Each structure stands twice: as structure tokens, then as C-alpha cells.
């Protein structure tokens, strides 16, 4: 699977491989890292989604535990349950978004900055948070 857009000496950057985009573009001192294949884009998006979803779910679990601390015998499994549920949600959301991103970028023959999977994982988390609030219909 080769393409004319992929450099000959291309190797997949190590995770997370974030770089300073201003310095990399203007002065050339910083090295920019790019992803070219769907499998790499999917993997980076999944990792970032797992990290961000885990952080949000564990923060929510910590709030629940603090609020119900008097019932510590009942509330102790809350972080475990929240962590497992967050991991499953992240696996699904990160996989879907990562595969769609990878397919679009590879079909368009584009290179993807390593910052894009982080941004899309952040979008996933914002969608998760916004979907947790009830929507009011009507006036």
C-alpha cells in the first residue's frame, strides 16, 4: 500500500508526537509529525479518546464518591463502573471517528497532523458532556 504522498523514509511517529505548530511552520526548528495511513489515524484517535473519556468519567466518579462519602460501603465501586463504561464508550466513539477520519484523509490523499486526533477526541468528549444534559422541547 504505497502512495506518492507518503515520504520514502516515513515511519509512524510515536504516540503522542505533538509538536509546536507555530515553530514548525515559521522557523523550521520544530519538526512536524504527520500520519498517512488509516490504521495510524485510527490508533491515535482511539488513544486520545480513551485518555480524555477516562479523565472525564473518573472526574465524574470522584464527584459522586465525594457527595456520597457517608455511604462508602455502597459507593466504592462507582469509579470502577464509571471507568469501565467510559472505556467502552471511548472504544466505540474513538473507533468510529478514527476510521471515518482515516478513510477521508486517505481517500483525499492528505497528510494528517498528529494534533487532529487530539482535537477530534476533544470533540467526542464535548458531545458526550452535552448529550448528558436533558433537552427541553417546546417553548
Q: What is the pLDDT along the chain (139 residues), one digit of tens a residue?
A: 445 677 788 888 888 888 877 766 655 555 778 888 899 999 999 999 999 999 999 999 999 999 988 887 888 889 999 999 999 999 999 999 999 999 999 888 888 889 999 999 999 999 999 988 887 765 5
For residue 43, being part of any structural domain is answered with yes
For residue 37, being part of any structural domain is answered with yes
Q: Which domain holds residue 38?
A: 21-131
What are the φ/ψ torsions at residue 6 (nearest 5 degrees)?
A: -85, 125
How many domains does the chain contain in total?
1
For residue 16, being part of any structural domain is answered with no
Cβ 44 vs Cβ 98: under 8 Å: yes
For residue 55, being part of any structural domain is answered with yes
Amino acid at each position: 500500500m504505497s502512495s506518492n504522498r507518503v515520504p520514502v523514509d516515513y515511519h509512524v511517529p510515536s504516540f503522542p508526537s505533538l509538536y509546536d505548530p507555530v515553530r514548525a511552520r515559521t522557523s523550521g526548528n520544530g519538526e512536524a509529525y504527520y500520519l498517512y495511513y488509516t490504521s495510524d489515524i485510527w490508533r491515535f484517535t482511539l488513544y486520545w479518546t480513551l485518555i480524555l473519556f477516562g479523565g472525564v468519567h473518573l472526574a465524574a466518579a470522584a464527584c459522586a464518591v465525594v457527595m456520597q462519602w457517608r455511604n462508602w460501603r455502597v459507593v466504592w465501586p462507582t469509579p470502577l463502573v464509571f471507568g469501565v463504561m467510559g472505556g467502552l464508550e471511548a472504544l466505540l466513539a474513538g473507533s468510529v471517528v478514527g476510521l471515518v477520519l482515516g478513510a477521508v484523509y486517505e481517500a483525499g490523499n492528505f497528510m494528517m497532523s498528529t494534533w487532529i486526533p487530539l482535537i477530534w477526541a476533544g470533540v467526542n468528549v464535548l458531545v458526550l458532556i452535552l448529550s448528558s444534559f436533558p433537552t427541553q422541547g417546546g417553548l
